[in-house]
Amino acid sequence: MSQTATLTKAEKPISYDINIPYVSVSDHSKRNVKYPEYLPTWDKVWFDPLPPFEYQDPALRVQDKSKPNLLSSATKVSHIQPSIGSIVEGVQLNKLSDTAKDELALLISERKVLAFPDQDLIDAGPEEQYAFMRHFGKPNYQPISGSMKGYPGFHIIHRDGNVDEINRFLEQRTTTTLWHQDVSYEIQPPAYVMLGLLQGPDVGGDTVFAATDAAYKRLSPTFQAFIDGLKAVHSSAKMIAHARLTGSLVRKDPVETVHPLVRVHPVTGEKCLFINGEFITRIQGLKEAEFRVLQDFLMQHLITGHDFQARVRWQPRTIVLFDNRSTIHSAIVDYIDEELGAKPRHIFRLCALGEKPSPVSPQTASTE
């Protein structure tokens, strides 16, 4: 059984992800938060490996592509960018029928990122939020960071103050961005993800998304043909090792899964890059140096592709729903006061696990 090392302040590693606390919440934060029941807790529970399960995407049940149960004359849909991201007004998520939720899944698959401002579901409580996301897939249980007491499917993102921690982080890193797909190391990673804003700064704290299907299309046919058949190893080992080193609670053994580098979206049929800088340890068949070059190229392609990105600017009581299969994303930690550190930013995340990623079949692989 592993033991947590005792380190001096100078020796302690910087945060793995500056967006979330790993060990405790300060008394100041407890007094300064609008939704104290959503502060992270570290209950000592243990999760076994996720067994394979049958998954049917709710979007595939939709018969009328115009989505009449979701969208009405009172609904306003404003696109953030032409090809990715929309703001939807005039819809209350907690009022949707199951048929409307199926249509919502289709709209998420099509637009990839949807922002719903001023949602009553924010104040409906964890039970109703939990039940809402169960419609879209099986819940994921976060292996390390804080969750809600009694609701292990909630992943709590919370920043307030911590100027010393942030300064140490930025002494060693040039940016706070951490581009990733959520929980990509699971055998069946999340299909749909909900982010709910409980409290945020007046300015800043945006979340930026990139479309991995559009990024794939921008590659040459020759390069597409090369990567279509590659398989990547996704692992949570680094994240869990870091949590143990910083004294955080670990609720699950490391998971390592092989996924296709290019996955086929079950709803749109589009080919999507399935890569991130956090959980992929190698690509089968490539040497270490070759893997690093390929990973660096694809990540820079995604990060710098502003013509297939959408930046969500959070508004009060906003809920964002996004497709984890066709996007990669990062929070933007720019809401920092030089004296106090980060201004309060408090978000909950719920993931709905989906299908095992489907590789490109030989019949659909690029042959040009």
Distance CA 130, CA 210 (A): 26
Superfamily for 27-42+51-214+309-355?
Clavaminate synthase-like (3.60.130.10)
Q: What are phi and psi of 286, to 5 degrees?
A: -110, 145
User: Contact, 13 vs 245, CB < 8 A?
Assistant: yes
Residue-wise pLDDT tens digits, 94-149: 999 999 999 999 999 999 999 999 999 999 999 999 999 999 999 999 888 788 88
Q: Is 297 helix (H, G, I), strand (E, B) or coil?
A: helix
DSSP assignment string, 16-36: S-TTS-SS---HHHHHH-S-G
Tokens 């999340």, located at residue: 190
The predicted structure's pLDDT at residue 341: 72
Distance CA 188, CA 134 (A): 15
Answer whether 0.75 is exceeded by the pTM: yes
Question: How far is Cα of residue 276 from the mean position of the Cα atoms in its chain?
Answer: 11
Distance CA 77, CA 80 (A): 10
The predicted structure's pLDDT at residue 21: 59
The predicted structure's pLDDT at residue 344: 86
Q: Is 234 helix (H, G, I), strand (E, B) or coil?
A: strand
User: Contact, 140 vs 353, CB < 8 A?
Assistant: yes
Residue ranges of the chain with pLDDT lower than 50? 1-8, 10, 366-368
User: Contact, 103 vs 77, CB < 8 A?
Assistant: no
The predicted structure's pLDDT at residue 302: 98
Strand partners, 210: 309, 328
Q: Is the dihedral of CA 139, 142, 148, 150 positive or negative?
A: positive
The predicted structure's pLDDT at residue 70: 98
Q: What are phi and psi of 337, to 5 degrees?
A: -95, 130
Q: Is 362 helix (H, G, I), strand (E, B) or coil?
A: coil
Distance CA 45, CA 113 (A): 32
Q: Is 250 helix (H, G, I), strand (E, B) or coil?
A: coil
DSSP assignment string, 308-348: GEEEE---TT-EEEEESSSEEEEE----EETTTEEEEEEEE
Residues, the chain: 368
